[in-house]
Amino acid sequence: MGPLSIKRFASLANGFRKDARGNVAIIFTLVAIPLVALVGAAVDYTRVSSARTAMQSALDSAALMISKDAATMSDSEITTRARQYVNSLYTNTETPIQTFSAVYTPNNGSGATILLNAGGNMPTYFMKIVGTNFSTLPINTASTTKWGSSRMRVALVLDNTGSMDQNGKMTALKKAAANATTGLIKKLSAFNTNEGDVYISVVPFAKDVNVGTSNVGASWLNWSEWEAAPRILTDNSYPIKVKYNNITYEWADIGPGAPCPFDTKSNGNPRPSQQSSVSKFSFACMDRPGSLSGATDLSNNSTDRYLIPSSGTYEGMICPGIDGGANYPGKTGVYYNGCYTSVVDPDASIVLATGSNAQCPSNKPNCSCTGTGSSRKCVQAKYKHYWRDHPSDTTKAAAAAPAHSTWTGCVNDRDQDADTTNAVMSGSGRIYPEQWKDCLSATITPMSNQWATLNSKVNAMNPSGNTNQAIGLFWGWQTLNTANDPFKAPSKDPNWVYQDYIVILSDGLNTQNRWYTCPNAGPCPTIDGREKTLCDNIKADKITIFTIQVNINSKDPESQVLKDCASSGSGYFQLITSANDTATAFDNVLNKIAKLRIAQ
């Protein structure tokens, strides 16, 4: 090409470069193909991502479900069951699962695992334009569920109050918790693949709990209330004034053969009548310490009705009966473990008449005359009274003071605010024994992996008494702790993770604790408030609480305190309206625990 031709070509090329119309056309043509490919790839990869997410979710859920039963199935059963779960959960028809495997590894000390793998190929819409190598995109995902690397401890806090005897509730509870093949204890034991994986305690509760009479000598018991005289008397300086057969008796006049100073019953003739500044004492007189076997109300005696024994072992003893709770509601149903002895006080006795004609006035109690002639003297005896003691007669003292060995095993709430904490049970934090008329026969069973024993303890429960959910929760907490007596749980292996649970089932609202009573018709703020504080402290101790309210025929309103006590989230509080739903409620708890134990 000559110089002229080269110059002309350069001129034409420069003109083409400056022509915008030509540039746009060529640039668009050059860019369109990769642009379409990129947009199409984004669409196809979005579809792949969605399918992979759906497949991952299906595998995760299937692995969780299969983990509950994997230890009891063969390898082929695990694969079949897992694939069935995945097929029911994964519904993406564009990318069917083409490869699937399930591998179960038994617990070797670091936990059992189930590994699910699934894969498929998704047809592309746009990327296949680029070439046949991009006609499909692979999807592969896996899910590993590990369990048994955490160990569980479960405190079963079970309502044993009198109302549990109605509508088949106690029967259903025993079956749901302690059936040898289908009960909650049996199902929890299935997680015990290694020694120490699972421990369970049983805490039957009513107003009190029974810690067992074998603990009678324990240093964590405070016997001061068990041994104490009635507060209504000590708080009011013995305000006794009782009229009987036209004779008025004050406290110092009560001795052998005197009328009962506590009797408040309204029928019968003759009867002592109270004229005291404290009109009702809320208990009658017994013929011996009221907590002893065979003790009877003096008003029931066939002879010497209403009169203090004038002879025998309990001569002159003033023995209060069971408290009706009129003055101190928390004392409702509680026995006093002692009597007042009566000892003549010569320094206080009154000379009423002297001389040969001296006679006892008809309106003066405890008067007797001695001597003859001018030496005759009529004296009104006065008595000193000693609670559980007799300074000059150890036999009388022993008879008036039942030994600790007569205790039936029940204890009430600790002093406030120790009743809402897990502080050590010593000093002011000790526990108060109580001689309660409705003391439960079923005792607390500390953390155990003896499944048959645990079942037998549940099956031995018998309903009795009023409701104090807080004391059940308190002792459930105690059975989970590994530091403080009593009932401390076995120590925890530092190589394992532990999860602690309390499961409380109750059929009613709170009605009585150590300090208060409340009606059955509605919530009990004084008791519920203490329970909520207790539950908050338990949850702060990293313990998960499940609460179950049994409410048949809408007998009670929904329990706000049980809802507040439950750990936050769905399923931790359950309201059931039939005794037959108890087993289902326990199964729901079991499934929740199974999920909580999973570590992805």
Q: Residues 93-114: pLDDT tens digits?
A: 888 999 999 998 876 556 678 8
Indicate if the alpha-carbon torsion angle 263, 466, 153, 419 is positive or negative: negative
453 and 502 inside one domain? yes
Residue 111 has what pLDDT? Answer: 64
pTM recorded for the entire structure: 0.75
Q: List residues bridging with 205 in a β-sheet.
A: 159
**Residue whose entry in the numeric block shows the structure tokens 């394992």:** 496
Distance of CA 227 to the CA centre of its chain: 28
Percent of the chain surpassing pLDDT 70: 85
Radius of gyration of the chain (CA): 40
Higher pLDDT, residue 246 or 287:
287
Last residue in a domain, options 354, 381, 404: 404
Q: List residues bridging with 99 in a β-sheet.
A: 119
197 and 254 inside one domain? no
532 and 589 inside one domain? yes
* Residue 42: its H or E element: helix 20-67
Q: At a CB cut-off of 8 Å and minimum separation 6, what does 531 contact?
A: 469, 470, 473, 510, 561, 565
The DSSP call for residue 68 is: T
198 and 321 inside one domain? no
Mean pLDDT of the chain: 87
In total, the chain counts a number of residues equal to 600
Q: Which of 209-223, 282-296, 508-522 has the highest mean pLDDT?
A: 209-223
| Burial label, 318 (beta-carbon count in 10 A; 0-12, 13-18, 19+) | buried
466 and 428 inside one domain? yes
Residue 512 pLDDT exceeds 70: yes
Residue 102 has what pLDDT? Answer: 92
Q: Where do the DSSP E strands lie in 317-357?
A: 319-320, 340-344, 350-354
Last residue in a domain, options 374, 404, 434: 404
pLDDT digits (tens, 9 = 90+) for 200-257: 999 999 999 999 999 999 999 999 999 999 999 999 999 998 888 888 999 999 999 9
487 and 499 inside one domain? yes
455 and 572 inside one domain? yes
160 and 68 inside one domain? no
- DSSP per residue, 298-347: GGG-SSSTTB---SSTTTT-BEE-----SS-GGGTTBPP---EEEEE-TT
Q: Can you give the residue range of the structural domain that contains 174?
A: 150-222+407-599
Residue 348 lies in a domain: no
530 and 489 inside one domain? yes
Residue 171 lies in a domain: yes
Per-residue pLDDT band at 3 (split at 50, 70, 90): very low
Three-state SS at 247: strand
199 and 315 inside one domain? no
Number of separate domains in the chain: 3
